[in-house]
Structure 1
């Protein structure tokens, strides 16, 4: 369990994905039977914070520590140190529900700061300057979490929500950067004879435009300028994806899910542009990025990397395919449903929550034994 970071963090994140969304949906829909047992900071703020700084942060830490070992040849946290980080993460999740606020902030902020420092230490020891930006992004995620807790301490709910939105934007940048590196490579390795086309102007502009769009949508969510930037970023993302021959991955679920996740980036940006002009709910646009891009990317990566790092074939079976179908349908229900039939929003949210929970429950069903046992090939890791 403590040989490599993907093991505890993927397991904890998947379990939390099931529980946290189930609890939040019950609270939101009025189905929560224990009125006196609710998050100390309120249901909406808890949901916004925990899915970014709890769930997504755990996956990012597990992925970066695991990939970092491959990138650098240096040992990332394992054993008691890894166990300690996992314990801090888990204690933070409990404290974010129960309070008190100072204890919750201390534990929550300690986790990301310790992860960022440990990851940077590995990169510095290896001289891996190419990946310093990823360490900087971890520190930035921690800084946004600091803003969230300071804002909550002062009762500035709007600023707290802005910091959570900025956290979503940062995870979108993670997907843009890392997805741009690995999805074409995985696709070329999986689909024989496929042609990957890259446009130099697009590759040079897509990260900057997406970053600008997420900053604009966080700080000034309404207005023509924000809409224009978001549309430019959407165009760059769509052009990039268009060079990856996504249609040829349909029969390869392990790579198709990553293409689906990336396709939700331009969709989410277009919807953010529309909401900036007063067309449609901003929440629906954000969920195109959270459920669609982030949810699909996380499920795709935690299956693929878990298979590879437990010594198994990179093949998706019936369970993985069912999980991918569930997460994809969850995105459709949460985003397309309210756009087409907004009067049934509660139904769409309940359906999306159930499908999300099913996706990660299926992951746990198959992958919990993989994550808690030695590698199938007997190697270390």
Structure 2
């Protein structure tokens, strides 16, 4: 996906060692704090109430994941600038989301991230390979879009903040569908080749191309209430294609690779989330619970798996112990189910909500702890 040829060992640092632990800590803290802010009656922290909760998990957590995965090795001054902007944006948003520093710092981080990430995908020749750069740019531009939506108000033609967040989640669905396939396919092919089992269906360019087009269309349709049902129909078609793609990878031949099976589980959550969200849109019912199957089930499982996988490869040149990704996948899967059961008015079902939040929090505290433990051996190996 990205090239490390320009990296100079000793002067450049891999971005994921900085952004992945920070993203995991933010994820672990933001969800229980957002619930506490409502049930305590204190309204603290204000930045996690209402749409602020989605803002931080999409534009704080998810963009930190994108930064860690796509930036690659960077000079420390660049990483320090990006990370400082990200951290200040998180702090100011949590404490005073309506202040000018909070409104300006989040877009500043997103735009600077796009400045360094998007050009890394320009070398691709096929249109399918070029899609990651423009998609990341769109997701980054949605951060100032969120700010603008708050300025112009709900009576304008500009999409409101809720629809922008929904479209951003669908953009993450597309990004995970694309990047997840590029991670899983070669890993499965290599494992099967060692067993003498050829895998002809690897990237599956026709299915991948169709998914890119369908999900871009869904992102646009979801912006308007008048086209929501059409968006649901298209989303169901995408869910079917994602399922077909997974089945063609023949992962049942890889029982000795729990790390791959967990990545495939995350990919299955993409199909499940897309199918349930599409059904909700077609039926004209609230789509928010279904979108949590994407953000908790798919994004949670895939991000935790990828973070551990990269850290273990750098530290020990091996995949993580099987119990780690399996445990995380189980916790995050249950968290997604419980949040879905809490429904469109989750604070009316505090039991489901707190169990979901607790599982999510424990999973990401575990990821953050493991990343910090692995940093030292990885740093020593680099020396």
Structure 2-normalised TM-score? 0.85
Instruction: Quote the offset at 1:311 in angstroms.
Output: 4.1
Distance 1:195 1:300, change over 3 A: farther
| 1:257-296 Cα distance to aligned partner (Å, 9 max, x none) | 2111111122112212221233754112111111111111
Match of 2:80? 83
Distance 1:101 1:249, change over 3 A: farther
Counterpart-to-counterpart distance in 2, 1:150 and 1:105: 10
- 1:97 pairs with 2:94: yes
Instruction: Quote the offset at 1:206 in angstroms.
Output: 1.8
- 1:378 pairs with 2:378: no
Match of 2:359? 355
- Which of 211, 217, 240 aligns to 1:212? It is 217
| 1:197-247 Cα distance to aligned partner (Å, 9 max, x none) | 535542331221222233323434765423321221111111111111233
Distance 1:228 1:134, change over 3 A: closer
| 1:60-82 Cα distance to aligned partner (Å, 9 max, x none) | 1110012xxxxxxxxx4231221
Instruction: Quote the offset at 1:195 in angstroms.
Output: 5.2
SS in 2 for 1:354: helix
| 1:337-359 Cα distance to aligned partner (Å, 9 max, x none) | 458xx998432221111111111
SS in 2 for 1:37: coil
Segment drifting more, 79-88 vs 314-323: 314-323
Match of 1:8? 18
Residue pair 1:213, 1:233 contacting (<8 A) in 2 also: no
SS in 1 for 2:222: helix
Counterpart-to-counterpart distance in 2, 1:221 and 1:187: 42
CA RMSD across the alignment: 2.8
- Which of 259, 267, 276 aligns to 1:262? It is 267
Counterpart-to-counterpart distance in 1, 2:174 and 2:311: 23
- 1:164 pairs with 2:162: no
Residue pair 1:222, 1:275 contacting (<8 A) in 2 also: no
Q: How does 1:134-149 map to 2 (within 5 A)?
A: 134-149=132-147
Residue pair 1:320, 1:363 contacting (<8 A) in 2 also: no
Counterpart-to-counterpart distance in 1, 2:322 and 2:381: 22
Counterpart-to-counterpart distance in 1, 2:87 and 2:347: 38
Q: How does 1:1-381 map to 2 (within 5 A)?
A: 3-28=13-38, 30=39, 32=40, 35=42, 37-40=44-47, 43-66=49-72, 76-99=73-96, 100-122=98-120, 127-128=123-124, 132-156=130-154, 159-190=160-191, 192-193=194-195, 196-198=199-201, 201-220=206-225, 224-278=229-283, 281-335=286-340, 337-338=341-342, 345-371=349-375, 373=376, 375=378, 378-379=381-382
Structure 1-normalised TM-score? 0.85
Residue pair 1:65, 1:119 contacting (<8 A) in 2 also: yes
Counterpart-to-counterpart distance in 2, 1:200 and 1:121: 23
Number of aligned residues: 361
Counterpart-to-counterpart distance in 2, 1:148 and 1:135: 20
Distance 1:43 1:251, change over 3 A: farther
Instruction: Quote the offset at 1:16 in angstroms.
Output: 0.4
Counterpart-to-counterpart distance in 2, 1:135 and 1:201: 20
Residue pair 2:153, 2:160 contacting (<8 A) in 1 also: no
Counterpart-to-counterpart distance in 1, 2:110 and 2:229: 35
Distance 1:321 1:235, change over 3 A: closer
Instruction: Quote the offset at 1:39 in angstroms.
Output: 1.5
| 1:293-329 Cα distance to aligned partner (Å, 9 max, x none) | 1111111111111222334311324344322321122
Segment drifting more, 4-13 vs 272-281: 272-281
